[in-house]
Amino acid sequence: MLDASGSMWGQIDGINKISVAQDVVRDMLGTVPKDRNIGLLAYGHRRKGDCGDIELLVPPGTSNAQQISAATEAINPRGKTPLTDSVREAATVLRSHEQLATVVLVTDGLETCKADPCAMARELEQTGVDFTAHVVGFGLSRKDGAAVSCIATETGGRFIKADNAQELSAALVQTVATEATAPEPQPEPQVEPKHNLQINVQLSPDSPPLERGDIDKLSLDLIRIADNRSSRVGYEPSLSIKADAGEDVLRAKFEGGSVEYPLTIEKFEVSHASISLNAGVIDFRARHMTEGLIDPAILTWQITNLETGQSVQRYKPDLYSVFAEGQYEVTVMPGRNRNIALPPMQVEVRAGESNTGEFLLDYAGLRIDTVSESGERLPDHFLRFELWSTRADGTRDKRVNGQAGTRDMVYVAPGDYLLTAEDWGFKAAERRTFSQDVTLQAGQGQTLRLLTPEDTAQPLTAETP
């Protein structure tokens, strides 16, 4: 019986547990006598959240090692852990009330379907069923191992703890490939592992572990329960660290959320913490109407939580970020001017899911250039200009955009505007002004040259470049 629940995407020594199990099962099958009747049953491999997801992949028989290996390789973990019903199903398949039968259960987690595996094992034993269950705890902590070992003890089987590929291989050889009648070996002296805590962060309990680059704004802290002492352990979603043994809480903070995961850290064993953020991804793109008009480096994404009203910004060409479950609004703008933000899109973030979208940057651009009558280009700080929306009578209404200096292009939605400029280049006491109606078209960047007369009595004038 092979655990194929979503937690099998967790890692052992940097490799997904399901991959380790598939390799070990394939190698172990080469040592099984051909006349041995064996089969394969798995759970949690077809559907998320379904406690009835139990399937006999290969019925018991002889010379079927190749078929079992192929079925194991095809398993894709995704669901829950119905230990109790799976063992009961195995007992039924083996018709154990008629002949001796043995189940070898490989599991990396506890029962998640509101059932009592210990009571079920006790029931099978009390009814006189000739049934033995061995349990291999793959990557389980000492506490979790004790919780499932009752399946073995109630049926006369063995509980074997396996924390890596070598130990899993030895456990399967003892329970499947051989009769395993030899006495338990004497324990070797305990050696502290280099890293005794493996942390994996997931969007949801059924999601694969996140990798570097999959999440931004993540921080991980260990909080010692005894004294509430907190220590920052990293910023990546997959970490192997050395930590003091004891009872702790792992806290993961990310954009818009924080989750906690209680765990027991062992001194001589590798503890595994797979923490679910109950979060999803917002993955939006900005498509440029005209290449080269808007520099992608100056884009600002604004994401607003509609329940709390809290907004955050991301300054990058495209938006890919993890957020807690909830309703959000997303918009984008050149620079940080909210007056020219595009109409927002609403998204519902759900745990483990990705929301995609695209904004068309259909902006118009305007750059002001200033020169003196003699043709000398004036420094940026000599000029300030602004774009205004207008009322019905042509007078200015609301400031839309503008800047001091002439170095950069400003962006607005396409349309009609009133341009005003103010120059204090040669004689600050006699500033000159300029105003003109301008029409700006989507996808076009325009440059307007203002001529600054050296005679301060003259106004600014526009000149076609």
DSSP-assigned letter for residue 127: T
| Whole-number Å distance between alpha carbons of 47 and 300 | 39
pLDDT at residue 378, rounded to an integer: 66
Q: What is the mean pLDDT of residues 287-302?
A: 90
Nearest alpha carbon to residue 169 among 145, 196, 138, 200: 138
Q: What is the CA 104 to chain-centroid distance, rounded?
A: 34
User: How many Å apart are CA 83 and CA 149, to the nearest integer?
Assistant: 12
pLDDT digits (tens, 9 = 90+) for 96-138: 545 678 888 899 888 899 889 899 888 888 776 677 888 888 8
User: Which pLDDT score is estimated for 140?
Assistant: 87
168 in Cβ contact with 136 (< 8 Å): yes
Give residue 276's pLDDT: 95
- Residue 427 predicted with pLDDT over 60: no
**Cα–Cα distance between 404 and 418 in angstroms, integer?**
17
Confidence of residue 183 (pLDDT cuts 50, 70, 90): very low
- Residue 128: what pLDDT? 65
Q: How many angstroms separate the CA atoms of 295 and 233, rounded? A: 37
Q: Which has the closest alpha carbon to 107: 198, 179, 5, 13?
A: 5
* Residue 88, phi then psi, degrees to nearest 5: -65, -40
Cα-based distances in Å from 76 to 203, 208, 310: 17, 11, 38
Q: What average pLDDT does this structure show over 63-83?
A: 90
Confidence of residue 170 (pLDDT cuts 50, 70, 90): confident
Query: What mean pLDDT is reported for the chain?
Result: 87
More confident residue, 246 or 187: 246
List all residues 6 or more positions away from 313 whose beta carbon is below 8 Å from its beta carbon. 300, 301, 302, 303, 336
Tell me what pLDDT residue 98 has.
56
Nearest residue to 445 via CA among 372, 389, 362, 357: 362
Residue with tokens 């959320």: 257
What integer pLDDT is reported at residue 181 of this predicted model? 42
Give the torsion sign (CA, 49, 51, 52, 56): positive
Confidence at residue 99, expressed as pLDDT on a 0 to 100 scale: 63
Q: What confidence score (pLDDT) does residue 145 get?
A: 86
Q: What is the pTM of this model?
A: 0.55
Could you please report the per-residue DSSP string of 26-38?
Answer: HHHHTTS-TT--E
Q: Which residues contact 327 (CB under 8 A, 6 or more apart)?
A: 305, 306, 307, 346, 347, 348, 349
Residue 239, burial from CB neighbour count under 10 angstroms (0-12, 13-18, 19+): middle
Query: Does residue 426 carry a pLDDT above 60?
Result: no
258 DSSP β-pair partners:
253
pLDDT of 436 > 70? The answer is yes
By percentage, how much of the chain surpasses pLDDT 70?
89
Over 70: is that where the pLDDT of 429 sits? no
SS3 for 273?
strand
185 — pLDDT class (breaks 50, 70, 90): low
Residues shown for the chain: 465
Residues 7-32 pLDDT 10s: 899 888 888 999 999 999 888 888 88
pLDDT at 57 exceeding the cut of 60: yes
Find which of 139-143, 242-246, 389-393 is predicted with most confidence, using mean pLDDT: 242-246
β-sheet with 271-276: strand ranges across: 238-241, 197-202, 271-276
Higher pLDDT, 184 or 412: 412
- The pLDDT assigned to 124 comes to 80
| Sheet with 319-324: strands ordered across | 319-324, 279-288, 354-361
Whole-number Å distance between alpha carbons of 284 and 303: 11
**Band of residue 430 on the pLDDT scale cut at 50, 70, 90:** low
DSSP 71-116: HHHT----B---HHHHHHHHHHHTTTTTS-EEEEEEESS---SS--
Q: Is the pLDDT of residue 141 over 50?
A: yes
Whether 380 has a pLDDT exceeding 70, the answer reads no
CB atoms within 10 A of CB 255: 19
Mean pLDDT confidence for 172-197: 73
